Structure 1
């Protein structure tokens, strides 16, 4: 199973996006992470690393939105980010984590929903889930 991490500068935005994606996620672990750790706007590499590890099953997963609360390790993690410095901090977190993780170049909400759907496929891989997340760039709304 491929896990998903949603990174936003806003903790409540990350939680909301993860909540929406969880509607399509089945047993997929989705970890929201956001804010500066002090109640403000921002992102923190250590918090993102913790979320990656939890989505990968390296932690207990008790804060996961939807999905299994415990169980086997994920087959990797796809990370979705909202804005500029979140990309930089997610890059640092991916490097720090022992989990296989990749960052998707995708709109965070639509990409998270696409990733959640793709992750429900029993043969899903990190690359197939990332590709589906990135295909959300082509979604037209009007």
Structure 2
């Protein structure tokens, strides 16, 4: 299998994260590395940097990883997680400014087709209102 961009879904809700990942899997199958996380360390609504780091590792690809987030706190914690990566990995991770469900599906579809990290990000972000 040719290496493809990995996708990470970060939501404040574990159910939203899993549901979005399930939808992506149904649309693009197993050929794209996909990981998701949601909820705070106590299992409530929120996000957790450690969970995001684990999700990045699970979805890791040398072509890069695109992260889709649902709310500002998820974006902030994802940025913190990226800053904790090695410099080499930091340059291969992007946070997409896109709706989480539609963006994840479109990003994974692009990744499935072998697109570059920048093309995956651009496609996901085309869905975002300007």
TM-score using structure 2 length: 0.87
Runs of 4+ in 1 over 6 A off after TM superposition: none
Q: Is the 8 A contact 1:55 1:74 kept in 2?
A: no
Q: 2:95 aligns with which of 87, 90, 103?
A: 103
How far apart, CA to CA, are the structure 1 residues paired with 2:28 and 2:7?
A: 10
TM-score using structure 1 length: 0.80
Which runs of 5 or more residues in structure 1 are unaligned?
A: 57-72
Is 1:35–2:23 an aligned residue pair?
Answer: no
Give runs of aligned pairs for residues 1-142 of structure 1, distance below 5 A: 1-26=4-29, 27-56=31-60, 73-98=61-86, 99=89, 100-122=92-114, 124-137=115-128
How far apart, CA to CA, are the structure 1 residues paired with 2:110 and 2:27?
A: 9
What's the C-alpha RMSD, in Å, of the aligned pairs? 1.2
Q: Do the aligned partners of residues 96 and 22 (structure 1) sit closer, same or farther apart at CA in structure 2, a change above 3 Å counting?
A: same
Moved more, 25-34 or 11-20: 25-34
1:36-90 Cα distance to aligned partner (Å, 9 max, x none) = 022100001111011011100xxxxxxxxxxxxxxxx441000000001111000
